[in-house]
Homo-oligomer: A and B are copies of this chain.
Amino acid sequence: MLSKKTKYGLKALTYIARSEGDSPIQVAVIAKSEQIPQKFLESILLTLRKSGILGSKKGKHGGYYLREEPSEIKMTDVMRVLEGPIAMVPCVSLNYYEKCDDCPNEHKCSVNKLMLQVRDSTLKVFRNTTLADLSNTNE
């Protein structure tokens, strides 16, 4: 299951991408429009900022803005920040690889074999999708 955190994060990013003016968007505005608990959203946007996807401005007229064009923001990056590793099992993870304690031979492991395929196909989707694709209303 997708966590609420990721769901809210994606919706917020989409909202910001669609609002593309010059001024930053405030958490309260997004929270209200997308029906997301504001305090929760605050912490999510903070994570996105720390990861470099969002920028922020404090104080009056502050808020969050995208650091790159929506078409440059790949879902691989967004998903890794929000949801963690894309692989369902550490032994097939590109960025967080870890050997299984039990598994004596990874290449003979049925779970490894299957999950490798799943990872590859999911990765293909995330690599080919940008925030611009998500924000595009028509389609």
Closest to A9 in B: B111
Check: A124 CB closer than 8 A to any chain B CB.
yes
Chain A residue total in the interface (Cβ 8 A):
34
Dominant secondary structure at the A interface: helix
Contact with B along A101-118 (1 / 0, CB 8 A): 010000011110111011
Inter-chain contact B35/A110, CB cutoff 8 Å? no
Contacts of A14 in B (CB 8 A): 110
Inter-chain contact A125/B121, CB cutoff 8 Å? yes
Inter-chain contact A134/B114, CB cutoff 8 Å? yes
Inter-chain contact A102/B134, CB cutoff 8 Å? no
Kindly identify which residue among B85, B115, B134 contacts A110, using a CB–CB cutoff of 8 Å. B134
Contacts of A118 in B (CB 8 A): 122, 125-126
Check: A129 CB closer than 8 A to any chain B CB.
yes
Q: A: which residues have CB within 8 A of B?
A: 1-2, 7, 10-11, 14, 34-35, 75, 84-85, 88-89, 102, 108-111, 113-115, 117-118, 121-122, 124-126, 129, 133-135, 137, 139
